[in-house]
Amino acid sequence: MAEDNIKLIETQNDTMWFAGSPLMICAVQLALDVKTGDVFTSAKFRNLSPKRLKSIRFDVICYDAVRQPIERLTGLEFQDLDEERNALFGFQRRIEIPDINTRNVEYVLKQAMFEDGTVWKNDDDRRFDTRIEQQSIYSVQGDCNKQFLDICARSGINGMNLVLQPEFNEEYWLCGCGAFNWHDEEKCSECKANREWLKKATDLDLLRQKKTLQEQQSEQVQAQVASMNAQVDKSAEKAEFEQRKVQLQQEQKKEKRRMTRKRLRLIGALLVIGALLAYLLMTFVFPHFLDDGKKQSADAVSPVSNQSVS
């Protein structure tokens, strides 16, 4: 109803159902066609039956501004339908409201016919009186949602598609994908998730236990990593110490070799000097002393000889 000449009088977006109904009603609106002055209503239905829906019959009760009934339109029908399970339909079909004082309306499903010829009837005039709603799975699970997604991943299920908290009761159950399923159905009619698996996977007590266990395991892993890091640090320190020790020993050996070479050079120089001194002594000093000795000996003998001659 996005036409410019349409003015909405009332819009209801709650999803409503009543026990045993093969359909739910997902939205209702009452509108005024400003161009023609006609008041009309439309509703969005969803087929909940596994069978294809062929037609429905329903009534529309009109109320005034203070919720007093004005009139009831009976025997309204949608014919020539071919709606499969979970299909939405009806929102584009206008139902004219005779009384322009109508301010809200109520739909009453009376009959539904399916492709196999079976007919469901509402002989007790039951109304859509049960609101079908689900909370966000993230708001319910909180910090346990990661554990739920882990369970989904291990089961080969895309947990990101399960955005609603599942609901289970005696008549029906609501899947995490939002699909309505009858109590005796083991798998979701939309995403095929198993009901019992979904119950266990979304059990908050189990998720909290799993979260606690994972936190404990994480702490143990962190402690092990810290211990390993400490051992690595010690090993690194030991390796560094050994390396420095080896370097020091090598430096000491080098210094010892250097000092040895230095001593050898000094000894070699001393030997050369000693040899040179010996050469000088033997060549120049000792011969000089020998000559002087001989001369003194000669001088000492000469006077005696002279006296003997006299």
91 lies in the same domain as 162 = no
Structure confidence at residue 306 (pLDDT): 47
CB 63 within 8 A of CB 69: yes
pLDDT (tens place) for every residue of the chain, 310 residues total: 447 789 999 999 999 999 999 999 999 999 999 999 999 999 999 999 999 999 999 999 999 999 999 999 999 999 999 999 999 999 999 999 999 999 999 999 999 999 999 999 999 999 999 999 999 999 999 999 999 999 999 999 999 999 999 999 999 999 999 999 999 999 999 999 999 999 999 999 999 999 999 889 988 888 888 888 888 777 777 888 888 888 888 888 888 888 888 888 888 888 888 888 888 878 877 777 666 666 666 666 555 444 444 4
Output phi, psi for 110, to 5 deg: -105, -35
121 lies in the same domain as 141 = no
Is residue 232 in some structural domain? no
Q: Identify the residue whose tokens are 């026990």.
A: 19
Q: How many angstroms separate the first and last alpha carbons of the chain?
A: 178
CB 174 within 8 A of CB 131: no
The parent domain of residue 174 ranges over 137-202
70 lies in the same domain as 16 = yes
CATH number of the CATH domain containing 89: 2.60.40.3230
Cα–Cα distance for residue pair 30/39, rounded to 1 Å:
7
Give the CA distances from residue 223 to residues 186, 220, 226, in Å, rounded to whole numbers and listed in that order. 44, 5, 5
Domain boundary, last residue among 147, 177, 202: 202
Residue 84 DSSP code: -
Cα–Cα distance for residue pair 210/205, rounded to 1 Å:
9
113 lies in the same domain as 173 = no
Is residue 260 in some structural domain? no
How many separate domains does the chain show?
2
Let me know if 228 is exposed, middle or buried by CB neighbors in 10 A (0-12, 13-18, 19+).
exposed
112 lies in the same domain as 152 = no
Q: Identify the residue whose tokens are 């909940």.
A: 48
Cα–Cα distance for residue pair 189/180, rounded to 1 Å:
8
pLDDT per residue as tens digits for the range 183-210: 999 999 999 999 999 999 999 999 999 9
CB 179 within 8 A of CB 47: no
**Percent of the chain as helix, strand, coil, to the nearest 5:** 45, 25, 30
Is residue 16 in some structural domain? yes
Domain boundary, last residue among 186, 202, 218: 202
Cα–Cα distance for residue pair 25/29, rounded to 1 Å:
11
145 lies in the same domain as 124 = no
Is residue 301 in some structural domain? no
Where are the strands (E) in 123-225, listed by range?
Answer: 130-131, 167-168, 172-174, 180-182
Cα–Cα distance for residue pair 86/181, rounded to 1 Å:
10
Structure tokens at 137: 């799975």
84 lies in the same domain as 148 = no
Is residue 278 in some structural domain? no
Is residue 198 in some structural domain? yes
166 lies in the same domain as 123 = no
Q: Which residues contact 155 (CB under 8 A, 6 or more apart)?
A: 197, 201
142 lies in the same domain as 101 = no
82 lies in the same domain as 151 = no
Is residue 45 in some structural domain? yes
Residues in the chain: 310
Output phi, psi for 32, to 5 deg: -120, 130
Is residue 152 in some structural domain? yes
127 lies in the same domain as 11 = yes
Handedness of CA 189, 193, 196, 198 (dihedral sign): negative
Cα–Cα distance for residue pair 233/256, rounded to 1 Å:
34
Structure confidence at residue 305 (pLDDT): 47
16 lies in the same domain as 120 = yes
